[in-house]
């Protein structure tokens, strides 16, 4: 595959942008290549500036569940742009999106719109602290919740690949408010509650971990967290930035029949635009300014263009529930192809990861056992086959409604040839 133009552009970008990219995982360092520069994308395909056409399983790292540039979303965005890009004043569109979210996600009675998943989780935690009057939180090793200071502790994906256990620039004091437990490890959570229970404001979890590769929760683990938080007066926060509108329209809370106190959303909810959200019980959300004492704000929060992309995306998903059955079925076809190659596969709906280990992968430690050299070789082989997967072992493969039977068949055959 010829990628000369991309490499030249990357050299140029490196002069002006640190590491040549605006988000570290895009740099392809884990697979020891230069990143592809993208010209356009449509449906299931992405096109780089050298003219290569690739079946895309990155899907912008999750948002593009309808595939790239879906007509309904693009048309709605074009139309709304004509009316102005940002007002910094309320619009009916925001209420419309908020209502769609409240109707979709059982645990959300009220919701605040923000501009990134990072902001959503950071703000949900502030709300939890404000509501409980407590300081500490529990997070799980290998779960990623964005790059805010207190959450860059054992934070998965980009940081796993780069082998940076923590980020520089985060004062130890911040990290000391973040306690880490083992994903799927109930005992580690019990120990933390025994030791510091009175000061734990919240447990935050990816209900299906998808930033250390996909790692589903063990049977009963989420129920256990629901019980132990309730008993100790702490809140349970589901970080559904990936799983929201992905596992099913109602997200992981609905999928696993668990009602967390707060939920964060991102990626799909913005339909490819910078938009995220957090919400939960009205009683908790009422702590937010101007209704309550917890401050959280944003110049571009609820931006009309982003909100319109979100409304159009959710409306499409709501009108076509059959999408979920199809993308889950396609996920299983790919999972089976990887299994036949002897890889360990974790799948939850249309999210999956094949690990280069004979498994099982149930937590951060076991995810780290995957052979990264073998992953890098697999990544390059897939590119040669015209298939674009995330350039890291610790990311999910995302399947969209635009992936056709032919795309899936071609991918299955490429996996067979590995």
Ligand X SMILES: *Cc1c(COP(=O)(O)O)cnc(C)c1O
Residue 45's SS3 state is: strand
In the complex, the smallest distance separating the C-beta of residue 147 from ligand X, rounded to whole angstroms, is 7
Residue 117 makes contact with ligand X by CB under 6 A: yes
State which of positions 209-248 bind ligand X (CB under 6 A). 211, 239, 241-242
CB 302 within 8 A of CB 94: yes
Residue 392 makes contact with ligand X by CB under 6 A: no
Phi-psi region of 51 (alpha: psi -120 to 50; beta: other; left: phi over 0): left
User: With respect to ligand X, which residue has the nearer C-beta, 239 or 261?
Assistant: 239
State which of positions 261-300 bind ligand X (CB under 6 A). 266, 276
Distances (CA, A) of 271 to 13, 120, 266: 27, 16, 9
Give CA–CA dist 230/200, Å, rounded: 11
The DSSP code for 362 is -
Reading across the β-sheet that carries 178-181, which strands appear in turn?
A: 110-114, 276-280, 262-265, 235-240, 200-205, 136-140, 178-181
Residue 118 makes contact with ligand X by CB under 6 A: yes
Residue from 34, 48, 94, 206 that binds ligand X (CB under 6 A)?
Answer: 206
In the complex, the smallest distance separating the C-beta of residue 260 from ligand X, rounded to whole angstroms, is 14
Q: Comparing C-alpha atoms, which of 377, 376, 359 is closest to residue 368? A: 359
In the complex, the smallest distance separating the C-beta of residue 145 from ligand X, rounded to whole angstroms, is 5
User: With respect to ligand X, which residue has the nearer C-beta, 29 or 145?
Assistant: 145
> How many residues contact ligand X, by CB under 6 A?
14
Name the active-site residue from 48, 239, 261, 407: 239
Residue from 121, 155, 160, 181 that binds ligand X (CB under 6 A)?
Answer: 121
295 has catalytic annotation: no
Name the active-site residue from 45, 255, 267, 324: 267
State which of positions 142-201 bind ligand X (CB under 6 A). 144-146
318 has catalytic annotation: no
Residue 398 makes contact with ligand X by CB under 6 A: no
Give CA–CA dist 256/245, Å, rounded: 13
The β-bridge partners of 279 are: 111, 263
In the complex, the smallest distance separating the C-beta of residue 274 from ligand X, rounded to whole angstroms, is 7
Tokens of 89: 């004043």
Name the active-site residue from 57, 131, 144, 324: 144
Give CA–CA dist 36/39, Å, rounded: 10
Residue 33 makes contact with ligand X by CB under 6 A: no
Please give the residue whose beta carbon sits closest to ligand X in the complex.
117
User: With respect to ligand X, which residue has the nearer C-beta, 146 or 279?
Assistant: 146
What is the chain's alpha carbon radius of gyration, rounded to the nearest angstrom?
21
227 has catalytic annotation: no
H helical segments located in 117-244: 117-132, 157-161, 172-175, 186-196, 221-232
User: With respect to ligand X, which residue has the nearer C-beta, 127 or 383?
Assistant: 127
In the complex, the smallest distance separating the C-beta of residue 351 from ligand X, rounded to whole angstroms, is 11
First CA to last CA distance, the chain: 17
Contact stretch for ligand X (CB under 6 A) within 26-34, 74-82, 141-149, 248-256: 141-149
Chain-centre distance for alpha carbon 7: 28
Binding residues (CB under 6 A) for ligand X: these are: 116-118, 121, 144-146, 206, 211, 239, 241-242, 266, 276
Show which residues are catalytic. Answer: 144, 239, 267
């Amino acid at each position: 595959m010829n990628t000369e133009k991309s490499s030249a552009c990357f050299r140029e970008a490196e002069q002006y942008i640190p590491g040549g990219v605006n988000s570290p995982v895009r740099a392809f360092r884990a697979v020891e290549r230069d990143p592809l520069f993208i010209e356009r994308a449509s449906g299931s395909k992405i096109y780089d500036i050298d003219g290569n056409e690739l079946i895309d399983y990155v899907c912008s790292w999750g948002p593009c569940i309808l595939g790239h540039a879906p007509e309904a979303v693009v048309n709605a965005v074009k139309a709304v742009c004509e009316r102005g890009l940002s007002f910094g004043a309320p619009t009916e569109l925001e209420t419309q999106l908020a209502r769609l979210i409240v109707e979709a996600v059982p645990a959300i009675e009220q919701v605040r719109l923000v501009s990134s998943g990072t902001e959503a989780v950071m703000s949900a935690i502030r709300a939890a602290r404000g509501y409980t009057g407590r300081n500490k939180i529990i997070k799980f090793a290998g779960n990623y919740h964005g790059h805010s200071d207190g959450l860059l502790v054992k934070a998965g994906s980009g940081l796993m690949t780069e082998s940076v256990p923590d980020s520089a620039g985060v004062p130890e004091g911040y990290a000391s408010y973040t306690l880490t437990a083992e994903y799927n490890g109930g005992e580690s959570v019990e120990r933390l509650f025994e030791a510091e229970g009175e000061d734990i404001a919240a447990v935050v979890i990816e209900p299906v971990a998808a930033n250390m590769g996909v790692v589903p929760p063990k049977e009963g683990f989420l129920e256990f967290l629901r019980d132990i938080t309730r008993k100790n007066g702490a809140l349970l926060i589901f970080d559904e930035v990936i799983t929201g509108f992905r596992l099913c329209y109602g997200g992981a809370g609905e999928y696993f029949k668990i009602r967390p106190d707060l939920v964060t959303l991102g990626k799909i909810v913005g339909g490819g635009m910078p938009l995220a959200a957090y919400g939960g019980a009205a009683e908790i959300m009422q702590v937010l300014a101007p209704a309550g004492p917890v401050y959280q704000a944003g110049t571009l929060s609820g931006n009309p263009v982003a909100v319109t992309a979100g409304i159009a995306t959710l409306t499409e998903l709501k009108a076509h529930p059959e999408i979920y059955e199809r993308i889950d079925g396609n996920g299983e076809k790919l999972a089976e192809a990887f299994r036949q190659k002897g890889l360990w596969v974790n799948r939850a709906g249309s999210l999956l990861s094949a690990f280069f280990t004979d498994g099982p992968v149930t937590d951060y430690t076991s995810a780290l056992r995957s052979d990264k050299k073998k992953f890098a070789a697999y990544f390059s082989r897939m590119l040669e086959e015209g298939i674009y997967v995330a350039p890291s072992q610790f990311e999910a493969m995302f399947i969209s409604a635009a992936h056709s039977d032919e795309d899936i068949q071609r991918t299955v055959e490429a996996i067979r040839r590995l």
